[in-house]
Structure 1
Amino acid sequence: MSDQLRRIVLASRPQGTPSTDNFRLESGPLPRPQDGQFLARVIWLSLDPYMRGRMDDSKSYAKPVAIGDTMEAACVAEVIDSRNGDFARGDIVMGGFGWSSHALSDGTGVRKIDPAIAPISTALGVLGMPGHTAWVGLNDIAQAQSGETIVVSAATGAVGSLVGQLAKQKGMHVIGVAGGAEKCAFAEKDLQYDLCLDHHALDAEALQKAIAEAAPAGVDVYYENVGGKTLEAVIPAMNVGGRIALCGMIAWYSGKGLADAMPLPRVWRTILTQRLRVQGFIIFDHFDRLPAFLQDVGPMVRDGRVTYRESVAEGLDAAPQAFLDLLEGGNFGKQLVRVGDDPAG
């Protein structure tokens, strides 16, 4: 067992688009657990778009990461030393251990993972926060129904890929929007989207026309992950009584494209005239739905009714660049960092 703890801290706050200079790798002695604590070595580290907001010192639904503090993240880890009766050496756990090689915990907010159910990395993706977000957004927020038409932005991402599959299983007409021909082909062939539009190949006007042609009867549900020109293209196609589940807006996280965004009065007028219901949601408010989500989706993952894809960066040092690439759409599926050896293979 290594006697060094390595972690990546927030070195400075970004001005606009972040860079690797905003992060710093630090190392120090490996901590030892005290009574009630356990020490875990991180195996899988999750990278997610929400982390961009935590880098800014601005009011949000969660406190920003302080300068010099470890970047926040959910991780899957193995307990290697324990003085906590609820966790034993060898247990595989999921918790908010951060961009780090090891972490101490008293067990708060930590849950055990059963490697027999699915690969343990899925606890950060299709059976983790992104999957939970997809399920809640589609079912509880959008209240999607069979026979309706849905547009899913970031259609092959960690959230969108499950939204599309669950929507198709509901009997919906599913239109995806993704970046690149390869991602769109995956959406149609593997995720069973009815159609996927490549926003890299279409400007805002062309994308709006393509969505209108793909949904001649209009769009009932829009699952919003990105903002930007995809939102601009979907808004005119929304039906009366349509619902927008607002999950993210990655296109605007670093301030890009704000000057070119659709004017708010036009968006506001459409919400009024089409009687749209637009609801933003943060999955932290819906932890009570986690057991129902796992009961519903877990069997689908096990028997192959739900498929998933992961992008893996190797080593803790790779986390900053992998995160920056994620913000630019460089990932394909759930973005993970393999920090340590996976005992389950």
Structure 2
Amino acid sequence: MQSMTQRRVILWGEQIDNGNVRLPGRMMEGTGKASVKASGSCRLTQAVTAQRTFLWGTRSGTRYVQYKRNVLRKQRHWEKIVTAKKKKRKQEKERRKAKHAEDKGAAHQHSKRVLKAITKERLLAAKEAAPWLCVDLSMTSHMTKKEISRLAAQIRRLYGSNKKAGKPFWICLTGFVAGSPISEECFRMNDGFSNYLMDTTPESYLDLFPLETIVYLTPDSENALQDIDPHRVYVLGGLVDESIQKKLTLQKAQEHSLQTARLPIAEYMVKNANVKNYHSETLAINQVFDVLSTYYETQSWPEALKAGVPPGKGYVLQETAL
């Protein structure tokens, strides 16, 4: 009877004895040995094939197993990435659907034409019952072409905010002379400017309204604005001044003995430490309007200032600073 070490295994034409690959050959019956009688080149090829196929601790087998593990690990990693992307896309799709349903519910599923008509009706009603906001464009001679372009962009943002407001103002551009640099920039930069629901006139606000109804808003005023009166006309100086010509709007208002006011930034906000140590109460006209519009709807100065005063001005609400 043959021992375990002498047992022979014949597979794919190769003879493997005790874990060692031998060249296939004629079996010598009962001896556990093989004699090689075939041609050397053919049998050597078969031996190499067997060594690569049966990876029992050989060096080539170790490399193959390691390669196999790397492939499986990369495949599992890629499957995780694909699964995560699918999950993220699904969540984003559900979020968009929920937002779309919410928007449709808020708009009562009105068509764009109906919504446009509602906006037009709301704005025209403001002309009769809401406060008026005039942008004084008589100071554009103090500005460069770049500053005039920035002012035209601010007018566009101001009008856009007013259209979306639940309680809009009526907007009036005074000192708006046809063919002037500011007129040309407004038409060039703002699509549909001729269809804006607001008044434009070359006349001065001084000639349009009683002086006792005018409140000139300027950051240099000593009087903080307490409330918004729908029977008043609030005037903003249409001035983008990168060189900061101080008290220009205040001087103009004082020349005509007009009532002046500033936003109550000092009353509700405090200076916030920043790297540049920069603090300014001078806002763009659209930012001032955002404050006025939010206050007119909420009757809350903290909410209004939070909505209109950007963090870059160096101010935060008092309760936030605590």
Verify same fold: TM over 0.5: no
Q: Which has the higher strand share?
A: 1
> TM-score, structure 1 length as denominator?
0.26
Q: If you compute each CA radius of gyration, which structure gives the higher value, 1 or 2? A: 2
- Structure with greater contact order relative to length (CA < 8 Å, sep ≥ 6): 1
> TM-score, structure 2 length as denominator?
0.28
Q: Which has the higher helix share?
A: 2
